[in-house]
Every structure is written in structure tokens, then in C-alpha cells.
Chains A and B, each alone.
Chain A
Amino acid sequence: MSHIPADLKFNASHEWVRVNADGSVTVGITDHAQEALGDVVFVELPAVGRVLASGDAAGVVESVKAASDVYSPLDGEVLEINAALESAPESVNTDPYGAAWFFRLQPSNPAQLEAMLSAEAYAQEIGE
């Protein structure tokens, strides 16, 4: 059983979103995703200022096993990236919802959040 925090939104490609007080959102990959990937050895992040559409490839996670794209869950502009992931990619395995956030986005279409999965729906999606 993987960990699925109740206060986050999810999508079927295993990204999570946390809505911050200022209206920006923080994006990462789920515990289930890191478990499936195995030990993460490299993370590639989008450039700050890049404008992403929902579903765009925004980065890459490389594990010992495979390379996997990370998709933007929402339309928006990249405000900040977690540069610490470049030197500590293993934090994706140890703290996927905390230290291993990927990037922060200013959503241009916040209504898209409503279409994302709740923790319960995501649990169902991954068969837990």
C-alpha cells in the first residue's frame, strides 16, 4: 500500500498537486510512482518561466530501471523548481510528497483542478 495524502489532488499519470495559500500549486510524483520506478538517479526539471499546458512533458525521472516523463497536471507558468533534486534525486524515493517536490506552477486555468482525482479516486485508479 502506498501513501496517498488526503489533502492533495492527483492524476492518472501519477503526479500530485498541492494548492498553496497564494494560489500557486506545487507538483511532484506520487509514492506509488516512486515505488514502481525504483531508485531514482536523475531528475530533469522544466525551466523557470516556461509556460506549460496540461499534459505537456515537464521533466524526466530516471531510475535504475527506466526513464519516465513527468507531465504538467495543469496549464500554467513555472514559478520555481526544486534544484535540490538534481544533487539529491534519492529524495524522490524517501520523501515524494515533501522534500522531493518538482516544481511550482502559477495555474492559468484553476478550474482544471476540479477535474483532477481526489486521494480516494487515485487510490482506486492504482488499485489500492
Chain B
Amino acid sequence: MSTRTATLATASRVISQLRRDPRTIALLIVVPCVLVFLVDQVLAGRPEAFQRVGVPLLGLFPLVSMFLVTSITMLRERTSGTLERLLTLPIAKLDVLLGYGIAFAAVAAVQATVVSFVGFGLLDLSVGHSKLLVVALAIANAVLGMAMGLFSSAFARTEFQAVQFMPAFILPQILLCGLLVPRAAMAEWLQWLSALMPFTYAYDALARAARTTPLGPRFALDVFVVVGVTLLALALGAGTLRRRTP
């Protein structure tokens, strides 16, 4: 079997699994919309503040939700014995990872499109550059979240642990990425710390896409880091899939 067939078979299998779980799909699509609406309401008296955080939030929600969904789904695959069985069959580890990647990127595309529609269409968010650029960044962030989720699932033994990775890995990045306080206003050690976090670059790219000023070379670096960390996490994730185990 060619690698591509096994990848696509895996992607369509993962999508079928998600389709059987309409509640998860509803949560994936509806929750970010409600949250963006809440942010809009909380900042009702300060439209410029909503303008500043709204667009980055559109692109960061997919990252967080894909991280969670992927780490739990992959953990189930590891603990249920299906992964061990799968790896005795003619399928490459890369097929498993890419299959998951394609499936979740498709879900992320839907999620990002719907949330963007709410943000741009109903809540009057405006964006300096193309709205499609924001959607594309949201999808890239979703794939980043998925890759990090796949990798981190190797370090959880139970679903309880996997869920705790969210406050452990994701929350500090949200605090430090520049969304709440501009990085330049933080203590120097926090700036250094945030420079090591992928969220910082994901946020910065979205914030630049939202502004009317030119994207600048820093935007290229942001995209490079997001794509680079995705590939790195996928490669490390592939390393955690073992055909032979103790």
C-alpha cells in the first residue's frame, strides 16, 4: 500500500469517529463563537480593546481546542491497544500522524471559518490585512495545537493527566504571549521566557494581520516558527510511536 492511501484511510477514519460524536463537534464549533461573543460583551465600552484582542483570539481558539481533542484521542489510541495492533499492520508511523493531521486540520478549517464569520460578520471586527489570512493563520495554529497534542499524549497515562496539560502547557503561554499585556511591558525574564513559547509567535502573527501597518519581516519569522514547531512536534511525536514496547 502506498503511504498516501494509508494516510487518507486514517484521516477518514478519524473524521468518522468525530462524526459519531456530534456533541464534541458542537463544542468545537459553538464554544469559540460564544467565547468571542463574551469577550465582545465584556469589552463593550472599549471597542478598541476588543479590536486588539478579538482577531488574535479567533486564531488562538483552534490551537487550544485541537490541542485538547488530539491529546485525548491519541491517548485513547495508545491505551486501548489499537495503536499496538495498527503498528503490526502495513502502515507507516507517518501515516498515523498525517492521518490525524489532515482530519483535525479539516475540522479546524470549519471551526476557524465559523468563528471568523461570527467575529467579522456579526461582531464587526475589522482586520487590516486579508480576512483569509486570519483564517489561514487559524488553521496553521490548529495544526500546531494538534501536533503538540500528539506529542504531549505520550507523557500522559490517563485522560485526567492529559486534561491537566492544558493549564500546565497552554495557560502560561496565553499569559505570556502578549495578549493580556504587551510583551514589551513585561519584566525582562518574562520576555525571554515568552520568546521560547510557540504561542508568542502565533499571537504575534495574528496581531500583525489585524493591524493596518505592513506585516514586516517579523511576520515571516512568526510563520516560520509556527510551521517549524509543528514539524518538530510531529517528528518528536513520531518518535514516541513505538512498534516494540517493553
**Do the two chains bind?**
no
